[in-house]
Amino acid sequence: MTEVVDRSTRKAFRPAASPAAAHKSAGTRPAVVVAALGAQLLGRWSAVRLQARELAARPELHKIEGLTHTEHRARVFGQLKYLVDNEAVHRAFPSELGGSDDHGGNIAGFEELVVADPSLQIKAGVQWGLFGSAVMHLGTADHHAKWLPGIMSLDIPGCFAMTETGHGSDVASIATTATYDPATGEFELHTPFRAAWKDYIGNAANDGLAAVVFAQLVTRGVNHGVHAFYVDLRDPATKEFLPGIGGEDDGVKGGLNGIDNGRLHFTRVRIPRTNLLNRYGNVDADGTYSSPIASPGRRFFTMLGTLVQGRVSLDGAAVAASKVALKAAIQYATERRQFNASSHTDEEVLLDYQRHQRRLFTRLAATYAASFAHEQLLGKFDDVFSGANDTDADRQDLETLAAALKPLSTWHALDTLQECREACGGAGFLIENRFASLRADLDVYATFEGDNTVLLQLVAKRLLADYAKEFRNVDFGVLARYVVGQAAGAAVHRTGLRQVAQFMADTGSVQKAAIALRDEESQRALLTDRVQTMVAEAATALKGSGRLPQDKGAALFNRHQNELIEAAQAHAELLQWEAFTDALHGVEDPGTKLVLTWLRDLFGLSLIEKNLSWYLMNGRLSMQRARTVGGYINRLLEKIRPHALDLVEAFGYGDDHIRAAIATGAEKERQDEARAHLRSERASGQSPVDEKVLLARTAGGQKR
């Protein structure tokens, strides 16, 4: 180990030994302390998570496969009352109304419901996370006193009516109007055409008695943009729609059939002026509009920003579903045997095959990264909504972080569920093992609470804005030096000088190249450089687009849309890698830290391998170093293999959460029975001779 001299004290000291070096010198295999790792994964709201998991383990909340959608809806609605009775859904509401003002804890507990039944999680989210939260965050004290008690107790089942058939992610362009009439002191709510119907609305088909409806607020001939209104939908006694209100049932869906999604439309429906949720925009009796936020654009994004918890909770729920799937698939892979590759008698367990490890361990690494990133997102969410850090900048950061992480985790969950399904063969396709059911239910997570691709475009625009801000106030000399530096950097990359330098540093040694790639700072540099370069190139290409005519500016942006979205995804992946790395610094046990470091390296190198063509085309990696990526990943798989069960055990989900027949140990019993039978048969001397063995003996005799 290299000795370092501290020049200020002239004393020599040696850097602390790495976990790998410590275990190597001790000659021991590292071990994972499952309890400590599990506590770290539970995070800041561990007590709430454990309470929610205890609830999610109860059969009363479990999804029953095979129900008709009508039966499933009735069961889930009954389960909402069960949640109320068990005080499981009111944490975020004001303490004076029976809540606990615990915003982060509320999300942490809520997202755990996905392991019981995703329909229950989402229907609860509609009732309290969207409908109730809209009243709480967009309304004022009078609204809270009037409606929140009934919403919290489920006396007022409700809807969150934002999306329209013709406008999903583009909320600013919804077409439903709320026009104020000063003569009556009422708003007239109207759906002007079919595409303006509110669509895919949870609780709309059957259960919703009221809704928070988003509409264009018009008063005194001026459209002040999208605002939220509390609207009674049905007669509580008859459950029939009130006059002027109509709707349809969306019917059977690809998943989440415990939720009664439907469509709503309004024909000149009159509602009191006081039903405007007016925290951010008010209309006086005479029709005068006022708002504490002067800018219409900023006001719009502030109102929508108060509802960001939907994206935060989906991020966490997707991570939880990935954990459940991996726990079942990895457990099964340690028991299921197939092909006797290395023995004439014993078959191999699936998890000893390299390809099987590739399929599951890379997704295990990504799940850990997503889990640690979600904990950071949840902390940011709580800081904003508790008021601890609630500036405009904090809210913008929260919005961007949620928009970055929710796409990655929901796509990852779908990919993980599918890969785990396939990795378990035909057994994985059985509904009793839940992969197919969970994947069907989570499919829509990729497009609701913000379509994933649209969310990444929002992130890309924020990255461009931040990039432009860096140079807004610099003088010409600084900018010129930056441009020269960029040009020099491009020359180094594109002429191959960096590749030559890497080759010389590696001296043709695969071992040295691998060491360089597994280094934390090297991974960070590669992942960061890709994001910075992609954003800088897009910003350069779009420079001056704001001064172009609208159609030409839009066309220019459209030509670079794909690169921007890829840059946003690369940024989100970097955030996950950084979150994993931050978590590593909090691990005290050397063995656990070493195994998690291998897992973090697997995540980072898998990202680099996925984008290897970019690194090669842009001169960031030499061909020599690029060739080592796959080989080092394979060595990491071997190192992680002995710890796979511990890593999924640390997720903290028991049999009542997993509920997969293949993860109960039944496969091990079957395999042990089969092996015992074959051993007994061989020992008896009565087992038939394999034809191939007989032919080999005959051939050997002929040669002699």
Q: For domain 46-305, give the fold.
A: Butyryl-CoA Dehydrogenase, subunit A; domain 2 (2.40.110)
* CATH class entry, domain 309-649: mainly alpha
Q: Is the pTM of this model over 0.75?
A: yes
Q: Return the domain boundaries, the chain.
A: 46-305, 309-649
**Nearest residue to 311 via CA among 175, 216, 169:** 169
What would the two tokens of residue 37 be? 């790792």
| Residue 55 in tokens | 């609830």
Residue type, 354: Q
pLDDT given for residue 250 in this prediction: 97
Asked if residue 317 lies in contact with residue 406, where contact means CB atoms within 8 angstroms, the answer is: no
Sign of CA dihedral 448, 450, 456, 459: negative
- SS3 readout for 610-654: HCHHHHHHCCCCCHHHHHHHHHHHHHHHHHHHHHHHHHHHCCCCC
pLDDT (0 to 100) of residue 497 = 53
Cα distances (Å, whole numbers) of residue 283 to 296, 302, 412, 427, 542 = 15, 18, 45, 60, 40
CA-based R_g, the chain, Å? 29
- Phi then psi for residue 192, to 5 deg, are -75, -20
- For residues 608 and 210, give the distance between their C-alpha atoms in angstroms, rounded to a whole number: 50
Catalytic, out of 399, 449, 573, 649: 449
The per-residue pLDDT for 217 is 98
- 87 catalytic, yes or no? no
Q: Which helix (H) or strand (E) holds 227?
A: strand 222-232
Burial class (CB in 10 A: 0-12, 13-18, 19+), 522: middle
The b-or-e profile of 568-595 (16+ CB within 10 A means b, else e) is bbbbbbbbbbbbbbebbeebebbbbbbb
Is there a contact between 332 and 667 (Cβ–Cβ < 8 Å)? Answer: yes
Strand partners, 177: 190, 216
680 exposed, middle or buried (CB, 10 Å; 0-12, 13-18, 19+)? Answer: exposed
d(CA 568, CA 602): 21
**How far are the Cα atoms of 22, 125, 197 from residue 213, in angstroms, in the given order?**
61, 16, 11
Q: How many CB atoms lie within 10 A of CB 316?
A: 25
Distance CA 591, CA 535 (A): 38
Query: 174-215, pLDDT tens digit by residue?
Result: 999 999 999 999 999 999 999 999 999 999 999 999 999 999
pLDDT of amino acid 9: 35
CA distances from 331 to 20, 360, 643, 647, 648 (A): 27, 11, 12, 11, 9
Cα distance between residue 72 and residue 522, in whole Å: 51
Q: Give the integer Cα–Cα distance in Å for 179 and 188.
A: 5
Instruction: Say what the pLDDT of residue 8 is.
Output: 34
C-alpha closest to that of 425 among 435, 413, 416: 435
Q: What is the pLDDT of residue 29?
A: 83
Q: How far is CA 297 from CA 135, 180, 225, 226, in A?
A: 21, 21, 9, 10
Neighbours of 640 (CB within 10 A): 21
Strands laid side by side in the 245-249 sheet? 198-201, 262-266, 245-249
| Phi, then psi, of 568 in degrees rounded to 5 | -65, -40
Q: Report how far residue 79's alpha carbon sits from residue 127's, in angstroms, rounded to the nearest whole number.
A: 12
Distance CA 449, CA 193 (A): 24
Residues of the chain short of pLDDT 70, as ranges, are 1-27, 342-345, 471-515, 700-704
d(CA 428, CA 412): 18
pLDDT for the residue numbered 11:
35
Planar angle of CA 356, 361, 363, nearest 5 degrees: 110
End-to-end CA distance of the chain: 60
Q: What are 319-361's pLDDT values in tens digits?
A: 999 999 999 999 999 988 787 776 666 778 889 999 999 999 9
Q: Check if the beta carbon of residue 443 is closer than 8 Å to that of residue 254.
A: yes
